[in-house]
Structures are given as C-alpha cells and as structure tokens.
Structure 1
Amino acid sequence: MIHHVWGLFTHPDQEWQEIRGDKETISHMYLSHVLILAAIPVVSAYIGTTRVGWSVAGGEAVRLTESSALQMTVLSYLAMLAGIAAMGAFIHWMSRTYDAKPSLTDSIVFAAYCATPLFIGGLAALYPNLWLAMAVGTAAVCYTAYLLYVGIPTFMNIPKEEGFMFSSSVLAVGLVVLVAMMAISVVLWGFGIGPVYSS
C-alpha cells in the first residue's frame, strides 16, 4: 500500500501500470488502504476542532464538544467509505461506454487510489484555519484530478482521447457526490445531528 501511495506522488503514470497489475480484493483494499487513509482527515478534524479550535477575525477560539466532534467524525468516516464504493461503482458502470472492461473490484481500487491526495490533505484539519484549508484542499483536489486524468487511460487500457472524456465524466459525478454529501449533512443538522460548541 505505502509504496503505491508514494509512487502516485513521484511517478503516477508508471504507478498506475503497477496498480493495474496487482490483483486486489475489495476487502484487502479497504483493510490495507481505505480504512487507514480515510482516518487521516477525520482524526485530524477531531483533534483540530476539540483541542485547537478556530477563530473568526482573530477572536477567541471556538471548539466543539468531544461528543459532538466524535459523532461528526464517525459520520464523516462512514460517508468517505461509502463515497469510495459509490465512485467505484460508477466507474465500473461507465467503463462499458468506453469499451473498457474493469471488474467492480478494479474500479473501486482505482477510486480509492485516486482519493489518496484528498485523504492525506486532511492533515490540514489539525489546525483549523480557513486559508490553510482552502490552500491544501485546492492542491489536493487538483492532484486528485491529475491522477484521474493520468490514470484512466493507463488503468482502463483505453486511448487518451477516450480517457479524457471518461475522466471528465468521473470528475463531474465526483462533484455531484460531494454536493450530495453536503446536502445530507445539512438535512442531518436539521434533525439535530450537528455541531455542539463547548462553552
């Protein structure tokens, strides 16, 4: 797992070929990669929101209660795990349009490795700051998109022109999934599952 993560940052094109050659199972992928890396942003956010806090316009730091932060951490973690599976299922479904024939397992593995920069970028949540979050988040999203555009033609073994269209479709659906997760968060807040601030 770690050598693939390092390879995606140092030589992504070659690394996608190596990942394609691996025979992963969904359970092994989740146990060795997704469960570990998806914990980075949620644990960082838990520490950042309960210990450090954030301030608006240089005022006193605002923190969440531990129980509220834990509740939001668990829900975020589950949402990320489900999001990887949903994106993998979409990639598998969409691959038929481009005459690629990856298995559902291959598609979920691809989605998980593409999300790696987003998971690692979650370290920024240790110090909740709007500008830091925006800078790191933008860099993580850009590199995730780069991995997607480089990886689809290599991983799916399709021409680069088709890979561009395929990648654009996946990126659009990824944004829809993100917006849906935000909408679900707002609905849950309406039912009382939201942040509770420490006094």
Structure 2
Amino acid sequence: MAPHFLTLFTRPDAAWHEIRQEEERNSVHYLSHLLLLALIPAVSLFIGTTEVGWSLAENERVTLDTRSALLLSITIYLTTLLGTLIMGGFIRWMSRTFEARPTLNQCIGFAAYTATPLFIAGLASLYPSRWLAVAVLGLGCAYSTFLLFVGLPTFMRLRQNQGLVYAGSVWGVAVLVLVTLLVSAILHWNMYLQPNYERTPATDQAYPTQDERPQ
C-alpha cells in the first residue's frame, strides 16, 4: 500500500500505471488500502469528539460520550466503505458508454485509490471546527478530482478525450453520492442512535468554536 500511497501524491500518472499493473496480478490488492485508510476519518472523529470537543457558547465545551462517538465513527466508517462500493458500481455502469470494459472489482479499486485524499482529509476531525473541516475537505476533494481526471484514462486504457468525458461523468455522480450518503449517515445517527452530548466548563485551553453540531 505504501508505495502507491506515496506516488499518488508525488507522481500520480506513474502511480496509476503501477496500480493497473498490480491489479492484473492481484485483483483485490486495493482492499487493504481501502479498509485501512477508511479508518482515518472514523478514528479521528472519535478522538476529536470525545477528547477535544467544540464550543457552542462562551466558557462551555461540548463533547460526546464514548458510546455516541463510537456509534458515529462506525457509521462514518461503514458509509465510507459503502460509498466506495457504490461509486465502483457507477463507474462500471458508465463504462458501457465508452470502449472500456472493466470488471466491477477494478472499478471499486479505482474508486478506492481516487478517494485517498478524502481519507487523509479525515484527519481534520481531530480538531472539530467547521471552517477547518470545510477547508481541508475542499483540498481533499480538489486533489481527488485531479487524480480522477489524470488516472481514469490511464487506468481504463482509453483515449484522452474519451477519458475526460468519462471522468467528468464520474465526478458528477461522485458529488451526488458523497452528499447523499454523508447527510443520510448523520441524520440516521442523530435521529435513531440517540447521541448524548456532554457540556462542561471550558478551561484555558483554546477549543474550536462552532455554532452547530459537528458534521
């Protein structure tokens, strides 16, 4: 996993060639990458909401109890895996329009590697702040978009013009899937899992300030 993880950020075009070659040798080589990196936002969110907290009012700190934070983290982890599987299915379905004939497994692997910057962006959850989350998630989305447009023609072995149209279609569906799944996961956690918020007086330590619950 480590070589691909590094080259996706340093030499993305070469990384996609290597990933495709490895896929031909081992069709599920992406699995450890997906299962491990999807833990980053889930674990970071657990630590951030239980140990750091956020502030809704002056001199008050809000955290989640262990049960609520654990359920939130599990929900986010499962949603991340589900989103990757769904995007793999959409990528394969849309390939019928082009000359590519990838397998479902290849498409899931491509989605997993493309989402790597979004997984890394989950580290922002260690410090629950709305503006920090927006900034880091925006950067993660931007680099994932770059990986998508650079990598899809290479991975699917398409001509550049076909690859760009294909990537644009995938990007549009990805935005819809990301928003739908995240909103659904948070609403489900908030409405049905009954989270417990703990409010304590803030100390001299600076805590992030927000006027709404962490998302």
The interval holding the TM-score normalised by the smaller chain is over 0.9
Corresponding position of 2:37: 37
Aligned CA RMSD, in angstroms, stands at: 1.7
Q: Higher strand share goes to which structure?
A: 2
Corresponding position of 1:10: 10
The range that moved more, 79-88 or 140-149, is 79-88
**Unaligned stretches of 5+ residues in structure 1:** none
Corresponding position of 1:25: 27
After superposition, give the CA deviation of every residue in 1:137-161 in whole Å (9 maximum; x if it has no partner).
1100000000000001111111111
Corresponding position of 1:64: 64
After superposition, give the CA deviation of every residue in 1:16-47 in whole Å (9 maximum; x if it has no partner).
01111113333x422x2111100001100000
Cα distance, 1:119–1:186 mapped onto 2, change above 3 Å: closer
d(CA) in 2 for partners of 1:4 and 1:68?
Answer: 35
Given residue 138 of structure 1, which amino acid in structure 2 is its aligned partner?
A: G
Is 1:63–1:198's contact at 8 Å kept on the other side of the alignment?
yes
Residue 158 of structure 2 corresponds to residue 161 of structure 1:
no
Is 1:121–1:140's contact at 8 Å kept on the other side of the alignment?
yes
Query: Does 1 or 2 have the higher relative contact order (CA < 8 Å, sep 6+)?
Result: 2
User: Aligned runs of 1:50-199 on 2, under 5 Å?
Assistant: 50-56=50-56, 59-185=59-185, 187-189=187-189, 191-199=191-199
Q: Which has the larger radius of gyration?
A: 2
Question: How far does residue 114 in structure 1 lie from its aligned partner after superposition?
Answer: 0.3
d(CA) in 2 for partners of 1:39 and 1:114?
Answer: 16
d(CA) in 1 for partners of 2:190 and 2:58?
Answer: 29
Number of equivalences: 197
Corresponding position of 2:208: none
d(CA) in 1 for partners of 2:88 and 2:134?
Answer: 26
Cα distance, 1:190–1:39 mapped onto 2, change above 3 Å: closer
Q: Higher helix share goes to which structure?
A: 1
After superposition, give the CA deviation of every residue in 1:48-105 in whole Å (9 maximum; x if it has no partner).
0010001246552211111011011111111111111111111111112111111111
TM-score (norm 1): 0.92
Cα distance, 1:130–1:100 mapped onto 2, change above 3 Å: same
**Unaligned stretches of 5+ residues in structure 2:** 200-215
Is 1:72–1:194's contact at 8 Å kept on the other side of the alignment?
no
After superposition, give the CA deviation of every residue in 1:103-139 in whole Å (9 maximum; x if it has no partner).
1111111000001000011111111112211111110
SS at match of 1:109: helix
Given residue 36 of structure 1, which amino acid in structure 2 is its aligned partner?
A: L
TM-score (norm 2): 0.86
Is 1:117–1:143's contact at 8 Å kept on the other side of the alignment?
yes
Is 2:39–2:77's contact at 8 Å kept on the other side of the alignment?
yes
Given residue 45 of structure 1, which amino acid in structure 2 is its aligned partner?
A: L
d(CA) in 2 for partners of 1:38 and 1:182?
Answer: 14
